[in-house]
C-alpha cells in the first residue's frame, strides 16, 4: 500500500510508536494515536463492510460516534468479541483484531450483494407486506428473517471483563470539551464550583484543537494554540475534574445523567488484566452545561453511499489530526462554506482537489476567495447527480441546478475522483437536551432545530445551541454561562475573534436528479439502507406522522440512531407533504446516545450478585443436608431434602408420610412477621382482617384473612396476642413487605387517630415448626420446663419459654393439620435450636421437610395458599371460607365489596376439591377444567390450582377453581390434556381429617 497517504505534521500521532493490528485476517500498521478508521485509511483501505439490507459496499464516512457505515466486529472468535463497534471510535492498540460485518464469504465478494439487484422488489414495508400469508408459513419465514437480521455476531460466552458503577455529585457538569465547553468549565471552576468536564474523545478541545486555519483566530492567535493554553491552564484547576473517553449516554429528569467512562479499551490486551474496563457514572449535577457540538450533514443524491464518500469535516480531521489523506484526487460537494476549510487543509499539504461542487450560485467569503486563488475549479450552482465505482468511488457526474433547485438542467459533466467530501451544513447535537425533556424550536434561516425550553437547571452552548461561527460560539458562551452561573466574568475580559466563514447556505433536502426517483438510490439512513424513495413511498401509502414513517421505513433505527440522516428524512417528508418543517417535530431521541455494552449497565451485579437473595439463619444446615432450594420472593427456601438419589417426587412422598406418622420439622423463618403495639391494636386488627379480634384473649392465636378494598383476598396468616396491647402478625413469605406497606397506608392516611405502631421483625426471629404425632415428645425434650399438656397449652395458643436461658415464643398452631409447635427464637440462635430439635427427634425419626411437602400436607387439609389457589379475583366467599367473614363487624377493609353486583354472582369461580377417576392420574397445575368437550367452542369452567399425589390418602388430590363450583359437589368434569381427557369428580376441598382430630394427635 502506498505510504504517501500519511503526512507528517500531526502532533496527535506518535510516529515513533508503531502499532500492528489485523483487519479481515491481514496485518497492517498504524501509529499510536490512530483510530482504527484513520489507520485503515492510511493503508488505503476504504471498503469496511456491507450494508444491512442491500449488502452494498460501504466505507468510512465520518470521524466520530455518528458513524453509520464503518461498523466492525472487534475480536471475532474471542471471549471479548463485540459487534457493531464504530471503527472511527476504536483507538488502535497492539493486538487489535477486527473483521467486517454482514458479508459472506468476504467483504470484497459478498453473496448477499444480490439484494442490491433485487432492490426494486425490496421496498419499505417489504417484510410487512410479504410475510403475512399464508399464515401457517410464518414459522418457515421466521427462520430466514432471523438469519438475515442484525449486523454483527453477538458474543457466545460470558463477558470476561470487570465493570463498575460510580456515583458523582457536582455543582456543574459540562458535557463536551470543545471550545465552548472549555470556556464554560473554566468559568465554573474558577468561581469555586465543583465542576466535572467530560468528553467522549481521548483528547480535549473538540474540532478546534486541530483548527490551524489563518481564517479563524482568537485574540490574534491561531484557534488551536489559544485553546491549548486554555487546556493547559484548566488541567491545573483543583475543583475541576476532567474525564475523557467518557460518553454521556442519558440525560434524565432532575439533572440525573448516565455516562460511560472507558478505561481500558485503548490499552494493549495484555495490559488490561484485572482492570475495570468501563465505569457507568451516575451523575447528579446541580447545573448542567451541554456543549455537545454539532454533526455535519451529508447531502442526499443518487448513490451517495459509496466507499470514499466522506463528510467534508471528516476529511479535514483525518488530514489535520491524524495526518492521513482520504484520497489523492478529491472532490468536495457542499452547500455552505465548511468545505472550503477542508479545501484549505488539503491545499496546504499539496493534496489534489479536482473540483468543488457548490449548490450556491453566489459565494462570498474570504476563505472561498482564497481557495479560488489556488486555481481550484468551483462549479457554482451545480449538484452531483450520480457516482460510479463499486468498491470505491471512481467518478461522479454533475449537472447545473435550476433556479428553484427542484430540477437539473444542461449537460452532464463527468469528473474523476477517489474521494468525495460532502457538506450539507450542520445539525446541532440536541439529543441529550431532548432526552432531558427539553423542547426544540425550528430556525427557518438555516433549517436547524435548536433548544428552546429547558426542563431543568441547564443550558446548551456552542454549536449544539445553533451557534456556528467561532465568533458566535465564543461570545454567546461567555454571555450565557455568566448569566447561568450568576458570576462575574473575570477570566475573559477582552476577547477578539476573527472568523473567515460566511454562514450562507443553500439548503436542498433531496437534491434533484436527471433520473426518475424510482430509479435512484439516495440514501437517507445509510446504516438501515433507507432511501428517499422509501420515505416517499411511505407518504404515498398514507403515513403522515414522523414516528410512523420512521418505523415503516426504519429510518433512524440503526445503532447510530440516524445521527446523520434524520434531518433529511424530516425535510423530505415536509417537502413532499407540503407542510412546514417545524410542524412535524422530530422523532424522540432515546438513551443511550451511543450504544452501551450490557456489562456497563449491570456493573458488579453479575453472577450471584445479579439479584440479592435472603437466607434464613438455618440456611447452612439445609445446604449441609442436601436440601434443594426454591426461590420464594427473594428468599432461598429449602424445597425438599433428597436422600440416596431420590428424585423430588420420592423425597416429597417420604417427607409427607413421616410428618403424619412420626414427626417432621420445617424452617418457617421466612414467614413475614409484623410486631403490632398500641392501645388501639385490637381495633386495628378488627379493621384489617375479615374476622373479629376484640375478644381474642391474651396468649391466644387466631388465623386471619386480609382483603383488598375490592373484596379480593390479599394475604393470610396467624396473629398472636402476646399482651393486652401487643400482637405479632405473620404474613405469607412473599407478601410481607406489601402487607406492611398496606397497613402503614391505612394507619397513616385513613386512621391516623388510632394509637398503633408497626414494625417489621421478620429477620429478628428464626421460626422452627415441629409437627406430627411425636412432636409433643420432641418439644418437651428441647424445652423441658414447658407444660405441653392440652389443658395448659391447647391448640391456637402461645407460651413464653426459655431454651438454655434464651427467651423464645412457642405457638401451638398448625398448617399441616397435625399436632404442631412453632418455636420463635432470636435469629442467631436459630440454627442451634434447630439442631437441638433434630437431636431430640432422632428417636422419633424426625424428618426435615421443605416447602413442597408443606404444600402437599396443607392441600390434604384443603388449606389455601394465597397467590397459588387465589389470584386477585377470589373473595373469601369464592374460597368457601364464609366462616371467617364477620357479619357483625361494622366495617373492615373490603367488606362493602363483598356484596357488589359482581361479587355476589352465583357463577363466579369458586374453590373446590378435585378427585381423579383413576387415583394414579396426577393433574397438572394450571390445566383447564371443562364439562362438555363436544360442544364447540368448549366452555372453560376454571383451572387446577394445586395438585399432588397424597401418600397418606394413597390417591391423587387437587384443588381448583370452577364456575359455580360450590354447588357442583359430586359432579363429573373433564380435564382435557394433550394426549387424553382426565375425568374428575368435584369434591370437598378438605380431603383428610375434617374433624381435626389430628391437631391433638388423636389418630
Partner 1 sequence: MFLINCPFCGQREQSEFKAGGEAHIVRPKQPTELSDDEWAEYLFMRKNIKGVQFERWNHVHGCRKWFNMVRDTSNDQIKAVYKIGEKPPVK
Residues numbered 943-982 forming contacts with partner 1, rule: CB under 8 A: none
Between 100 and 762, CB nearer to partner 1: 762
Q: Which is nearer to partner 1, 120 or 741 (CB)?
A: 741
Site for partner 1 in 547-576 (CB under 8 A): none
E strand intervals along 87-140:
96-99
Candidates 361, 496, 583, 750; binder of partner 1 (CB under 8 A) is: 750
CA distance 786 to 587: 74
Letters for 678-717 (x = contact with partner 1 by CB under 8 A, - = none) are -------------------------------xx-------
Q: Give the DSSP per-residue string, 323-378.
A: -B-S-SSEEEEESSTHHHHHHHHHHHTT--EEEEEES-S----HHHHHHHHTT--E
In the complex, what is the shortest distance from the CB of residue 730 to partner 1, in angstroms, rounded to a whole number?
A: 19
Q: How far apart are CA 710 and CA 726, in angstroms?
A: 29
Least distance in angstroms from the C-beta of 709 to partner 1: 6
Residue 744 Cβ vs partner 1, minimum distance, rounded to whole Å? 6
Return the range that interacts with partner 1 (CB under 8 A); candidates 379-387, 425-433, 633-641, 894-902: 894-902
- Compute CA distances 434 → 185, 730, 936, whole Å: 22, 49, 54
* Binding piece for partner 1, criterion CB under 8 A, among 488-496, 717-725, 804-812, 897-905: 897-905
Q: Which is nearer to partner 1, 904 or 977 (CB)?
A: 904
Closest CA to 87 of 314, 407, 423, 359: 314
356: nearest Cα among 347, 584, 862:
347
Half-sphere exposure of 464 (CA within 13 A, CB side): 23
The DSSP code for 6 is B
195-234 footprint of partner 1 as x/- string (CB under 8 A): ----------------------------------------
Q: Mask of contacts with partner 1, 645-674, x by CB under 8 A?
A: ------------------------------
d(CA 783, CA 768): 13
Q: Which of 120, 516, 752, 970 binds partner 1 (CB under 8 A)?
A: 752
Among 780, 897, 971, 985, binds partner 1 (CB under 8 A): 897
For the CB of residue 901, give the shortest distance to partner 1 in the complex, in Å: 6
Pick between residue 483 and residue 896 the one whose CB is nearest to partner 1: 896
Q: What's the farthest any 2 CA atoms get from each other in the chain? A: 115
Applying CB under 8 A, among 748, 789, 967, 1000 the residue interacting with partner 1 is 748
User: Which of 189, 740 has the CB closer to partner 1?
Assistant: 740
Interface residue with partner 1 among 131, 256, 390, 613 (CB under 8 A) is 256
- Binding residue for partner 1, selected from 636, 895, 908, 909, defined by CB under 8 A: 895
The H-assigned helical ranges of 510-638 are: 532-540, 546-553, 566-577, 581-584, 598-602, 619-624
Q: Judged by CB under 8 A, which of 220, 274, 486, 749 binds partner 1?
A: 749
**Is 753 an interacting residue with respect to partner 1 (CB under 8 A)?**
no
Query: Pattern of binders to partner 1 over 282-321, x per CB under 8 A?
Result: --x-------------------------------------
- Binding part of the chain for partner 1, among 548-556, 749-757, 781-789, 922-930 by CB under 8 A, reads 749-757
Question: Nearest distance from residue 911's CB to partner 1, in Å?
Answer: 24
Write down the least CB distance from residue 712 to partner 1, Å. Answer: 11
Looking at residues 73 to 132 of the shown chain, list those that interact with partner 1 (rule: CB under 8 A). Answer: none
Binding mask 436-455 for partner 1 (x = CB under 8 A): -x-----------------x
Report helix, strand or coil for 809: strand
CB of 748 to partner 1, least distance (A): 5
Does 896 engage in binding with partner 1 (CB under 8 A)? Answer: yes
Strand segments (E) across 858-938:
909-916, 928-929
Question: 335 vs 31, 382, 470, CA distance in Å?
Answer: 35, 10, 19
Site string for partner 1, 901-920 (x = CB under 8 A): x-------------------
Q: What CA–CA distance (Å, rounded) separates 642 from 628?
A: 8
Grouping H, G, I as helix, E, B as strand and the rest as coil, residue 624 is: helix
Taking the C-alpha atoms of residue 660 and residue 417, their distance in angstroms, rounded to an integer, is 91
Are 100 and 110 a contacting pair, CB within 8 Å? no
| Residue 287 contacts residue 485 (beta carbons within 8 Å) | yes
Nearer to partner 1, 39 or 743 (CB): 743
User: Rounded to an integer, what distance in angstroms lies between the CA atom of residue 68 and that of residue 527?
Assistant: 5
SS3 666: strand
Q: How far is the CB of 125 from partner 1 (least distance, A)?
A: 32
Work out which of 75, 80, 243, 252 binds partner 1, going by CB under 8 A: 252
Please say whether the beta carbons of 90 and 98 come within 8 A: yes
- Cβ 252 to partner 1, closest distance in Å? 6
Beta bridge partners of 898: none
Integer-rounded Cα radius of gyration of the chain: 38
Closest CA to 362 of 336, 378, 380: 380
Where does residue 788 fall: left (phi above 0), alpha (psi -120 to 50 degrees), or beta otherwise? alpha
Instruction: State how far the Cα of 424 lies from the Cα of 310, in Å rounded to an integer.
Output: 12
Number of residues that bind partner 1 (CB under 8 A): 24
Write down the least CB distance from residue 715 to partner 1, Å. Answer: 17
Among 254, 369, 609, 610, binds partner 1 (CB under 8 A): 254
Q: Which stretch binds partner 1 (CB under 8 A): 302-310, 696-704, 738-746, 776-784?
A: 738-746
Q: How deeply is 809 buried, as exposed, middle or buried, from its count of CB atoms within 10 A (0-12, 13-18, 19+)?
A: middle
Terminal-residue alpha carbon distance, the chain: 95
How far is 255 from 2, CA to CA, in rounded Å?
Answer: 50
Q: How far is the CB of 735 from partner 1 (least distance, A)?
A: 15
> Of the listed pieces 27-35, 630-638, 674-682, 887-895, which binds partner 1 according to CB under 8 A?
887-895
Closer to partner 1 at the Cβ: 745 or 939? 745
Nearest residue (CB) to partner 1, 134 versus 752? 752
Q: Please identify, among the stretches 177-185, 724-732, 842-850, 888-896, the one whose residues bind partner 1 according to the rule CB under 8 A.
A: 888-896
Identify the CA nearest to 317 among candidates 174, 178, 218: 178
Of the ranges 203-211, 403-411, 504-512, 736-744, which one interacts with partner 1 (CB under 8 A)?
736-744
Residue 905 neighbours by CB distance under 10 Å: 12
> Which spans of this chain sit near partner 1 (rule: CB under 8 A)?
252-254, 256, 284, 437, 455, 709-710, 740-741, 744-745, 748-750, 752, 890-891, 895-897, 900-901
Amino acid at each position: 500500500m502506498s505510504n504517501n497517504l500519511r503526512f507528517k505534521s500531526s502532533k496527535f500521532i506518535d510516529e515513533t510508536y508503531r502499532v500492528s493490528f489485523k483487519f479481515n485476517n491481514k496485518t497492517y500498521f498504524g501509529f499510536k494515536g490512530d483510530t482504527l478508521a484513520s489507520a485503515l485509511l492510511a493503508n488505503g483501505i476504504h471498503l469496511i463492510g456491507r450494508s444491512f439490507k442491500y449488502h452494498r459496499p460501504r466505507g468510512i464516512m465520518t470521524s466520530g460516534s455518528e458513524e453509520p457505515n464503518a461498523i466492525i466486529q472487534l475480536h471475532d472468535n474471542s471471549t471479548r468479541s463485540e459487534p457493531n463497534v464504530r471503527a472511527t471510535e476504536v483507538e488502535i492498540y497492539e493486538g487489535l483484531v477486527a473483521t467486517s460485518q454482514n458479508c459472506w464469504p468476504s467483504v470484497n465478494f459478498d453473496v448477499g450483494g444480490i439484494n442490491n439487484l433485487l432492490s426494486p422488489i425490496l421496498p419499505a414495508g417489504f417484510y410487512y407486506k410479504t410475510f403475512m400469508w399464508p399464515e401457517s408459513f410464518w414459522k418457515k419465514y421466521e427462520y430466514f428473517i432471523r438469519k438475515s437480521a442484525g449486523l454483527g455476531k453477538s458474543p457466545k460466552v460470558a463477558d470476561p471483563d470487570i465493570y463498575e458503577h460510580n456515583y458523582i455529585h457536582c455543582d456543574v457538569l459540562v458535557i463536551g470539551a470543545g471550545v465552548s465547553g472549555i470556556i464554560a468549565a473554566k468559568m465554573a471552576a474558577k468561581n469555586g464550583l465543583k465542576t466535572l468536564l467530560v468528553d467522549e474523545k481521548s483528547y480535549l478541545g473538540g474540532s478546534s484543537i486541530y483548527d490551524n486555519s489563518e481564517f479563524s483566530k482568537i485574540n490574534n492567535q491561531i484557534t488551536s494554540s489559544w485553546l491549548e493554553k486554555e487546556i493547559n491552564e484548566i488541567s491545573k484547576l483543583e475543583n475541576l475534574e476532567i474525564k475523557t473517553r467518557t460518553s454521556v449516554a442519558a440525560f434524565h429528569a432532575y439533572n440525573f445523567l448516565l455516562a460511560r467512562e472507558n478505561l481500558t479499551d485503548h490499552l494493549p490486551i495484555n495490559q488490561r488484566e484485572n482492570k475495570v474496563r468501563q465505569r457507568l457514572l451516575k451523575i447528579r449535577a446541580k447545573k448542567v452545561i451541554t456543549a455537545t457540538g454539532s454533526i455535519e450533514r451529508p447531502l442526499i443524491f443518487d448513490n451517495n453511499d459509496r466507499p470514499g464518500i466522506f463528510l467534508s469535516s471528516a476529511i479535514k480531521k483525518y488530514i489535520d489530526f491524524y495526518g492521513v489523506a482520504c484520497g489523492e484526487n478529491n472532490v468536495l460537494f457542499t452547500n455552505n462554506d465548511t468545505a472550503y476549510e477542508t479545501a484549505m487543509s488539503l491545499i496546504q499539504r499539496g493534496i489534489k482537489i479536482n473540483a468543488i461542487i457548490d449548490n450556491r450560485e453566489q459565494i462570498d467569503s474570504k476563505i472561498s476567495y482564497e481557495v479560488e486563488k489556488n486555481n481550484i475549479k468551483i462549479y457554482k450552482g451545480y449538484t452531483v447527480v450520480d457516482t460510479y465505482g463499486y468498491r470505491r468511488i471512481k467518478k461522479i457526474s454533475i449537472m447545473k441546478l435550476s433556479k428553484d433547485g427542484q430540477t437539473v438542467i444542461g449537460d452532464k459533466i463527468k469528473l474523476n475522483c477517489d474521494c468525495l467530501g460532502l457538506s450539507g451544513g450542520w445539525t446541532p447535537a440536541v439529543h441529550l437536551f431532548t432526552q432531558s425533556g427539553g423542547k426544540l424550536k425550528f430556525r427557518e434561516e438555516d433549517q436547524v432545530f435548536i433548544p428552546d425550553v429547558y426542563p431543568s437547571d441547564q443550558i446548551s452552548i456552542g454549536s449544539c445551541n445553533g451557534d456556528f461561527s467561532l465568533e458566535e460560539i465564543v461570545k454567546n458562551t461567555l454571555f450565557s454561562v455568566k448569566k447561568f452561573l450568576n458570576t462575574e466574568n473575570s477570566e475573559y475580559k477582552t476577547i477578539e475573534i476573527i472568523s473567515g466563514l460566511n454562514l450562507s447556505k443553500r439548503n436542498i433536502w433531496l437534491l434533484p436528479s436527471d433520473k426518475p426517483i424510482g430509479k435512484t438510490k439516495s440514501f437517507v439512513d445509510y446504516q438501515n439502507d433507507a432511501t428517499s424513495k422509501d420515505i416517499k413511498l411511505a407518504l404515498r401509502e398514507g403515513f403522515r406522522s414522523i414516528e410512523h414513517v420512521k418505523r415503516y421505513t426504519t429510518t433512524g433505527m440503526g445503532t447510530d440512531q440516524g445521527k446523520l440522516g434524520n434531518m433529511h428524512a424530516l425535510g423530505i417528508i415536509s417537502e413532499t407533504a407540503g407542510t412546514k418543517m417545524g410542524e412535524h417535530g422530530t422523532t424522540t431521541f432515546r438513551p443511550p446516545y451511543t450504544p452501551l455494552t450490557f456489562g456497563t449497565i449491570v456493573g458488579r451485579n453479575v453472577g450471584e450478585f445479579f439479584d440479592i437473595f435472603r437466607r434464613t439463619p438455618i440456611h447452612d444446615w439445609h445446604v449441609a443436608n442436601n436440601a434443594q432450594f426454591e426461590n420464594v420472593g427473594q428468599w432461598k427456601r429449602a424445597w425438599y431434602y433428597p436422600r440416596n438419589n431420590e428424585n423430588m417426587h420420592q423425597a416429597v412422598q417420604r417427607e409427607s408420610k413421616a410428618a403424619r406418622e412420626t414427626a417432621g420439622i420445617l424452617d418457617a423463618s421466612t414467614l413475614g412477621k409484623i410486631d403490632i403495639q398500641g392501645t388501639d391494636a385490637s381495633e386495628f386488627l378488627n379493621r384489617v382482617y375479615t374476622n373479629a379480634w376484640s375478644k381474642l384473649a391474651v396468649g391466644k392465636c387466631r388465623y386471619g384473612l386480609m382483603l383488598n378494598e375490592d373484596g379480593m383476598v390479599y394475604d393470610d396468616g396467624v396473629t398472636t396476642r402476646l399482651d393486652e396491647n401487643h400482637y405479632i402478625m405473620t404474613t405469607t413469605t412473599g407478601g410481607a413487605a406489601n402487607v406492611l406497606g398496606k397497613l402503614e397506608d391505612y394507619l397513616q392516611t385513613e386512621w391516623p387517630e388510632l394509637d398503633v405502631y408497626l414494625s417489621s421483625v421478620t429477620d429478628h426471629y428464626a421460626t422452627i415448626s415441629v409437627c406430627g404425632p411425636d412432636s409433643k415428645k420432641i418439644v418437651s425434650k428441647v424445652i423441658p420446663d414447658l407444660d405441653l399438656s392440652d389443658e395448659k397449652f391447647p391448640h391456637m395458643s402461645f407460651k413464653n419459654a426459655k431454651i438454655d436461658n434464651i427467651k423464645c415464643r412457642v405457638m401451638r398452631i398448625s398448617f399441616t393439620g397435625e399436632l404442631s409447635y412453632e418455636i420463635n427464637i432470636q435469629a442467631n440462635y436459630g440454627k442451634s435450636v434447630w439442631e437441638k430439635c433434630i437431636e431430640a427427634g432422632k428417636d422419633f425419626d424426625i424428618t426435615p421437610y421443605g416447602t413442597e411437602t408443606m404444600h402437599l400436607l396443607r392441600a390434604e387439609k384443603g388449606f389455601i395458599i394465597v397467590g397459588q389457589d387465589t389470584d386477585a379475583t377470589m373473595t373469601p366467599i369464592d374460597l368457601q371460607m364464609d366462616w371467617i367473614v364477620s357479619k357483625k363487624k361494622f366495617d373492615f377493609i373490603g367488606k362493602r365489596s363483598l356484596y357488589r353486583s359482581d361479587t355476589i354472582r352465583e357463577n363466579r369461580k369458586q374453590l373446590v376439591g378435585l378427585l381423579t377417576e383413576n387415583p394414579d392420574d396426577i393433574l397438572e397445575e394450571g390445566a383447564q377444567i371443562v364439562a362438555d368437550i363436544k360442544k364447540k367452542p368448549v366452555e372453560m369452567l376454571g383451572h387446577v390450582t394445586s395438585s399432588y399425589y397424597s401418600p397418606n390418602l394413597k390417591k391423587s388430590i387437587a384443588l381448583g377453581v370452577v364456575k359455580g363450583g360450590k354447588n357442583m359437589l359430586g359432579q363429573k368434569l373433564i380435564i382435557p390434556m394433550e394426549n387424553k381427557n382426565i375425568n374428575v369428580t368435584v369434591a370437598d376441598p378438605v380431603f383428610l381429617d375434617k374433624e381435626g382430630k389430628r391437631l391433638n394427635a388423636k389418630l
